[in-house]
Amino acid sequence: MGKLKKIATPEYSVRISRDADKKLTFESSNGGDLVNITDEARSFLIPLRDLIKDQKPVFKNLYIVKHPDIVVLARKEAPYVDALFIHRPYARVVIVADSCTSEWIDPIV
């Protein structure tokens, strides 16, 4: 068997914040979207506890995690995906590609 070829993802940046209605806001330099996959069956295949184990939350229980494969695979299905959102009782996780620069903007209260 040969070695798997890594799919290169272009560098991009995302800005994530919360608006006055307490909903996440998302801006991407690619113009892509944040896709909520919380209710999809395949979202339960992603080991969120392992991904956030060594991370610190950016806001309450919200984590921004870089992963080399998850967003790349999602783009095979829909090319406009720049980030994925999964909500569980113990955490809310935004998953971006590892070539992404992410920034959390503190909400003004």
For position 108, what pLDDT does the model report? 73
Tokens standing for 16? 């994530």
pLDDT tens, position by position, 40-85: 999 999 999 999 999 999 999 999 999 999 998 899 999 899 999 9
Nearest to 100 by CA among 76, 73, 65: 65
d(CA 99, CA 23): 25
For position 20, what pLDDT does the model report? 86
pTM of the full predicted structure? Answer: 0.88
Please compute the mean of the pLDDT values over residues 9-38 and round it to a whole number: 91
For position 71, what pLDDT does the model report? 92
Ordered by start, the domain boundaries in the chain are 13-100
| pLDDT over 70 at 6, yes or no | no
Nearest to 89 by CA among 49, 50, 33: 49
Nearest to 25 by CA among 95, 109, 107: 107
The amino acid occupying position 31 is G
d(CA 28, CA 15): 6
